[in-house]
Amino acid sequence: MPEFNLNRSACHSCGTCVSTCTIGHLEMNTNPEIAADTMCIECGHCEAICPEGAINISGPEIEPPMENVSSKISSEDMGNYMRNRRSIRNYKKRTIPHETIEEIMDVVRFAPSGGNQQPVEWIIIEDPQKVKELAGLVIKWMEKLVEENSPFAQILPVESLISVWKSGLDPILRGAPNLFIATAKSNEGSTPMDGTIALSYLDLLLPSFGLGSCWAGFLLMASDFEPIREFLGLKEGEAFLGALMAGYPECNFYRVPKRKKLSVRYI
């Protein structure tokens, strides 16, 4: 449990921290205080929102809050950035520098999660040869589907994909130099959604670094295949939440492709 520390001489008793406390852990008396029989989820909102900086949340795994971080960006710039995001399936033969990966993941770790549990952990493959080996294991999974005459093999174009792979191309992970895999210790509660949110943060962030990505759907489908779990070092109970292939785009896009008109109901 984190420790709630209040500088009473700095506190103006505005109550902002209490009103924004996610689960009612704080209550207002003369100053904000911890409410009885409640538990802090370590979201840090109270510390971040205090205009006087009177609150300090401390704990062995808690970092100090970042200050003066601007979030100003025009709706037009943000809209254009998001519209220009593309799935990248052709990459330059250049890996992402380790320092760049660390900078990227330092942002991605701020992705929201249910109850602020922050369950998502990562496996990041930096060796293109290992990415290729993993793609080969997905092909082995597909060959097993064909061998067992699985109904799944009737839905997916597995025979075509196997044929393309044998021709020397990679239709699974597209020859990507890097792979980002979201995992968690369990697959319960909001964990699957937390993984999707974290991967979406990563997906939208990468273009700002001159990088591109594509969701590795075939790998996700095959993620329970034991040779794949062994390759990734996943232990019993650990969940594979999703993956993104990533790298420097080989091609540029010069315009935003068309999309269907929005279907929405206002109630």
DSSP string, 130-169: HHHHHHHHHHHHHHHHHHTT-HHHHHS-HHHHHHHHHTT-
CA dihedral 17, 6, 107, 205 (to 10 degrees): 20
Report yes or no on whether pTM surpasses 0.95: no
pLDDT score of 13: 87
**For range 28-35, the mean pLDDT:** 83
What's the mean pLDDT in 70-95? 93
Half-sphere exposure of 99 (CA within 13 A, CB side): 0
Higher model confidence: residue 173 or residue 1? 173
Task: Give CA–CA dist 228/219, Å, rounded.
Answer: 9
**Digit-coded pLDDT (tens) for 120-165:** 999 999 999 999 999 999 999 999 999 999 998 889 899 999 999 9
| pLDDT score of 68 | 67
Q: Angle at CA 209, nearest 5°, toward 134 and 118? A: 65
Whether the CB-CB separation of 234 and 185 falls below 8 Å is answered with: no
Mean pLDDT of 243-259: 95
pLDDT score for 124: 98
Mean pLDDT of 23-41: 82
Q: Count Cβ atoms within 10 A of the Cβ of residue 104 and give its class: 0-12 exposed, 13-18 middle, 19 or more buried.
A: buried
Tens digit of each residue's pLDDT (9 = 90 or more) over 191-220: 999 999 999 999 999 999 999 999 999 999
pLDDT band at 34 (very low <50, low <70, confident <90, very high): confident
Q: What domains sit in the chain, N to C, each tagged with a CATH number? A: 3-58 (3.30.70.20), 75-247 (3.40.109.10)
66/3: higher pLDDT: 3
Pairwise pLDDT comparison (115 vs 67), residue with the higher score:
115
Range of lowest pLDDT (26-30, 102-106, 227-231, 261-265): 26-30
More confident residue, 186 or 70: 186
Question: Would you state the pLDDT for residue 15?
Answer: 87
- Flag the least confident range among 10-24, 105-119, 244-258: 10-24
Confidence of residue 171 (pLDDT cuts 50, 70, 90): very high
Q: Is 2 exposed, middle or buried (0-12, 13-18, 19+ CB in 10 A)?
A: middle
Query: What does pLDDT average to over the chain?
Result: 92
In the DSSP assignment, the letter for residue 61 is T
Question: Any idea what the Cα angle at residue 131 is, between residues 129 and 136, rounded to 5°?
Answer: 95
Q: What is the pLDDT of residue 123?
A: 98
| pLDDT surpasses 80 at 62 | no
Least confident of 9-13, 124-128, 240-244: 9-13
Which pLDDT does position 1 carry in this prediction? 67
